[in-house]
Amino acid sequence: MSIAEPRKAAVQPMWFEKIPAGWWALVLILLTMPAWANDFVLFQVMGWTFILGMIALSLMFLAGYGGMVSLIQMSVAAMAGYMVAIFGNSGMGEISMGLPWWLYLPIAVAIAALFGTLVGALAVRTEGIYTIMITLAIAAAFFYFTRQNYTIFNGYSGFNLVVPPPLFGVDWRAPMPFYYLTLGCAAICYLVVVYVSRSPFGLSLQGVRDNPRRMAALGFNVTAHRVAAYTFASVIAAIGGILLAWQNAQIAPGTAGIPAVIDILVIAVVGGITRPIGPFIGALIYVLLRTFSPDVLLAFGLSGERFKLLIGLGFLAIVFFSPDGVLGLWERWRNRRARGQDPLTGEDP
């Protein structure tokens, strides 16, 4: 009893004191980036990183907290992108309905969430590799369906001219506004996931991951919890999908093709699925490799076409040296340093 009490009696630090200095530095860098980075970095590198990070974050939530590796997240994102094009405006006037933004955005998120929930309801009854297989099968079906269906999804060519609404007189596709838009969405999604992870819902999801049978023996409806996790993750993926459609100004079957579906898994695994920051680290590495590997290859006198080789080798190296991704590397390095500095208490110097 007396041992436990100081834990509560101690003066609680203010919330901003608990955040390490490194995070403040990161916030400062991200907020001031438009002042010193060029438009290409803002729009193409950082914007894309935040978007892929969000979609991979939805997978991290399912896999890291729920123990469910879902390959449907990219399809859910693309579904949201399609719905924005169909209910909003696009170059395909005969399909797009041209609803106002405050109507088509919630509709798009809701339909994508419903789609993700239905897939989840099918997938949660399976475990491990079978979850991967069933979600991959549905993702493949979604890809072929969108490519062959012309009445709703406009088939092979999809929709072009899918752009954000000119809210407050700002062109949200211009580099700086788009940068802040994606940064804001990514930050909100990240903070919500961090917050929810310690809520009853998030904790019980981790309980379901560790021991579903025991969760049922504690009064939890395990199936309902897993399905709800899919719904929650789908909302995050949907936000990412809408931003992705806006960034490309188009949505087409290839957005959620099998390579794109696999890429999300790679991003999450490379970054690390133990904590919500992992997917964003993975997304940054992926985007940097995707963007600059042709230049690197050309510099060595190789054909720029072979950029996928470099990406593959990069990912292979990370996963080989650290099965739990970049986060795992970072944590091991920190532990080693802490051990070296203070073997008695294990505290950071």
Question: What residues make contact with another protein under the rule CB under 8 A?
Answer: 1, 3-4, 7, 195-196, 198-201, 203-204, 206-207, 209-211, 213-222, 224-225, 228
Shortest separation between residue 139's beta carbon and another protein, angstroms: 27
Of residues 257 and 276, the one with the C-beta less far from another protein? 276
Of residues 154 and 234, the one with the C-beta less far from another protein? 234
Q: Which residue type occupies 33?
A: M
Shortest separation between residue 29's beta carbon and another protein, angstroms: 28
Of residues 196 and 233, the one with the C-beta less far from another protein? 196
Shortest separation between residue 3's beta carbon and another protein, angstroms: 4
Of residues 8 and 151, the one with the C-beta less far from another protein? 8
Of residues 157 and 197, the one with the C-beta less far from another protein? 197
Of residues 147 and 225, the one with the C-beta less far from another protein? 225
Of residues 8 and 168, the one with the C-beta less far from another protein? 8
* Contact criterion met (CB below 8 Å) for 208 and 225: yes
Shortest separation between residue 20's beta carbon and another protein, angstroms: 19
Shortest separation between residue 232's beta carbon and another protein, angstroms: 8
Of residues 14 and 35, the one with the C-beta less far from another protein? 14
Shortest separation between residue 304's beta carbon and another protein, angstroms: 44
Residues 6+ apart with CB under 8 A from 267: 52, 53, 56, 279, 282, 283, 285, 286
The rounded distance, in Å, linking the Cα atoms of 31 and 25 is 10
Shortest separation between residue 5's beta carbon and another protein, angstroms: 9
Shortest separation between residue 202's beta carbon and another protein, angstroms: 8
